[in-house]
Amino acid sequence: MSSLTLLLSFFAMFGLFQGASPAYKNLTPAQFSAALRQPGAVLLDVRRPDEFAGGHLPGAVNIDVTAPDFAQRVAALDKTKPTYVYCRSGARSANAAGQLTKSGFEHVSNLLGGVMDWPEKLVR
């Protein structure tokens, strides 16, 4: 076994190739639904406005994560409140959750599977 192979095996054994875990929580729809019941929670829909108009979770605020003013608009939110983000399938909201935590939001959670896995009725 070469020295390089031995060194790579050592790093792999101790998980040194794994990325850091995200600073936000990924929640299942059941966990997300239960967490939303806490007072002061902010629910953020990060889909496009046309997707939001087609149906969204009750009480959600729409700020499109792909819009050029996303960072500016979320900067107006209270960073100390628990913030719950979702999108259609969970990919854009994971991106948004990462951006929120990097900009100082203290408690951010992402809905795994997005509204596609949401078991409750959406509102318009």
Full DSSP string of 66-78:
TSTTHHHHHTTS-
Rounded distance between C-alpha atoms, residue 33 and residue 57, angstroms: 10
Distance from the Cα of residue 61 to its chain's centroid: 14
Structure tokens at 97: 């959750």
Give the integer Cα–Cα distance in Å for 9 and 34: 42
Could you say which of 36, 46, 57, 87 is catalytic?
Answer: 87
Q: Are 87 and 45 in contact (CB under 8 A)?
A: yes
User: Annotated catalytic, 87?
Assistant: yes
Which positions are annotated as active-site residues?
87
